[in-house]
Chain A
Amino acid sequence: MSLPQALDASALPSIIFTTAAQLVDCVDKRLLVILRDGRKLIGILRSFDQYANLVLQDTVERIVVDSLYNDQPRGVYIIRGENVVLVGQIDPEKESSPSMTEVSLDEIYAAQQKESDERKRKEEVKTGKLIDLGFSIEPQVEDLY
Chain B
Amino acid sequence: MADVATADQLDDTVVSEPLDLVRLSLSERVFVKLKGDRELRGRLHGYDLHCNLVLSDVEETIYSLDPETEELKTVVKQSEMLFVRGDAVVLISPPQRT
Direct contact of A and B (CB under 8 A): yes
By a beta-carbon cutoff of 8 Å, the part of chain B in contact with chain A is 64-65, 67, 70-72
- Binary flags per residue of A102-145, CB closer than 8 Å to B gives 1, else 0: 00000000000000000000100110011001000000000000
By a beta-carbon cutoff of 8 Å, the part of chain A in contact with chain B is 122, 125-126, 129-130, 133
**What's the nearest-Cβ distance from chain A to residue B61, in Å?**
15
**What's the nearest-Cβ distance from chain B to residue A105, in Å?**
29
Do B72 and A133 touch across chains, with their CB atoms under 8 A apart? yes
Do A122 and B72 touch across chains, with their CB atoms under 8 A apart? no
**What's the nearest-Cβ distance from chain A to residue B6, in Å?**
17
**Nearest-neighbor residue (CB-CB) of A144 within chain B:** B36
Contacts of A126 in B (CB 8 A): 64-65, 72
**Nearest-neighbor residue (CB-CB) of A132 within chain B:** B72
**What's the nearest-Cβ distance from chain B to residue A103, in Å?**
25
**Nearest-neighbor residue (CB-CB) of B36 within chain A:** A144
